[in-house]
Structure 1
Amino acid sequence: MLNAITLSQIFVLDQDEALDFYVGTLGLEVKVDQDLGFMRWLTVSVPGEPGREILLEKPGPPAMDAATAEQVRELLTKGATGGWLGFTTDDCRKTYDELVAKGVEFTQEPIERPYGIDCGLRDPFGNAIRIVQPTQVA
């Protein structure tokens, strides 16, 4: 049987810009940055969290031909690819304030929900990101 989710993927238009955002702004760390010849394998993760990585993949070979890659880039630019990530934090409002100070534009300010406090933003490529401070269960 399956044991864990170890790798997820989102499309990005520019991997260097993605690194700047995910590592430089959000504070993730690079796990793998390797030129495979046919593509750049670039993964990031939350610092200290072993086993879970996000592949920041440019649309193109080997997964798709040039025409399909162009369609994916167009959809990504419109925020229509459905890519999204969810992160947790100990203090949603503090994280929100820190990211706003770094110039991050949010689609939703922190709001209380039945499951905790969360807020939303988009990465530079249109992927949705949710940041949640889960409700503490006694």
Structure 2
Amino acid sequence: MQRDGFPAPDSGLLLTHFLTVADVARSRAFYSDVLGGEVILEENPCTIRLANGWIIMNPGGGPTPDKPDVTLRPPTDPSTVSSFLNLRAADIEATHREWSAKGAEFLTPPIDRGAELRCYLRDPDGYLIEVGQATGMLHGVYADPPAGTS
């Protein structure tokens, strides 16, 4: 690893997650002040170390030579999601209390799903974030299959 925690491995791979955001400063504050991430680089691109991973954020934009015909933009419909962050907590109740006190708005409090305790919140751009704590999974109780599958 180089440059004080910047995600640049000396060998192999390292996983980061890129978010297209409307306001870098607003999103940086959410991921650092509310969720407790460490700001590694303020902008161009904003890079936040969160737990054992990194969130990289930049404003949207049109195609570039390395991604022709691709336009980046934040979500436009919070009811439709194709991917989301999945954060695993050691103590979901404490995480829910702490982040709520810092301004996070959860869709629901943690709900016992049998395999895990789980709740969701959104970041300032509407990205969905799942916060879960393994409970039943640690004892062989797993999630039900998705609706409509057998």
CA 1:28–1:22 in structure 2 vs 1: closer, same or farther (change >3 Å)? same
Q: 1:1-138 alignment to 2 at 5 Å?
A: 4-34=13-43, 40-47=44-51, 49=52, 52-60=53-61, 63=64, 68-69=71-72, 72-73=73-74, 76-79=75-78, 80=80, 82-135=82-135, 137=138
Measure the CA separation in 1 of the matches of 2:116 and 2:61. 38
Aligned-residue sequence identity (percent) comes to 29
- Runs (4 or more) in structure 1 with deviation over 6 Å come to none
Gaps of 5+ in 1: 35-39
Measure the CA separation in 1 of the matches of 2:93 and 2:28. 24
What is the aligned length? 123
After TM superposition, the score normalised by the length of structure 2 is 0.69
Gaps of 5+ in 2: 1-11, 140-150
One-letter code aligned to 1:6:
L
| Cα displacement (A) at 1:103 | 2.0
CA distances 1:17-52 after superposition (whole Å, capped 9, x unpaired)? 011100011101123335xxxxx11121224x3xx3
The structure that has the greater radius of gyration is: 2
| Cα displacement (A) at 1:61 | 5.1
Measure the CA separation in 1 of the matches of 2:30 and 2:56. 14
**Greater helix percent: which structure?**
1
Measure the CA separation in 1 of the matches of 2:105 and 2:89. 18
Measure the CA separation in 1 of the matches of 2:13 and 2:86. 16
RMSD: 2.6
